[in-house]
Amino acid sequence: MWLATGWLALSLPAHWRQVFVANEVAPGYLRPLGWLALGVSVLCCFKADHPSMAVLVWFTLLPVAAVATAMTLSYRPALLRVVCPVFLRAR
């Protein structure tokens, strides 16, 4: 179960990071959506583990997810389009 939360936290905050791709115009709702996803990932962690453990998992997952996203941005930015499908791109 905690593995599942791992994936979730990895994929969901990615929404938020999409904001920073040098698109022409980044839709404004992405930022709140990203924060929301981060919140959801916290809840997932809490659901999966003892609270004290959950805090740690979340805090250590965060840098890993962030670095993964940053590396994607540098080497394969196109991949990030997946997290923001076409039908959502309109403003």
Per CB under 8 A, residues contacting another protein are 2-3, 6, 17, 20, 49-50, 52-53, 56-57, 59-64, 66-67, 69-71, 73-75
Distance CA 62, CA 64 (A): 5
Residue 15 tokens, joined: 């929404």
Instruction: Considering the complex, state which of residue 75 and residue 87 has its C-beta at the smaller distance from another protein.
Output: 75
Instruction: Considering the complex, state which of residue 37 and residue 87 has its C-beta at the smaller distance from another protein.
Output: 37
- Least distance between another protein and beta carbon 17 (Å): 6
Instruction: Considering the complex, state which of residue 50 and residue 91 has its C-beta at the smaller distance from another protein.
Output: 50
- Least distance between another protein and beta carbon 86 (Å): 23
> Taking the CA of residue 2 as centre, how many other CA atoms within 13 Å lie in the half-sphere pointing to its CB?
13
DSSP secondary structure letters along 41-65? HHHHHHHHS-HHHHHHHHHHHHHHH
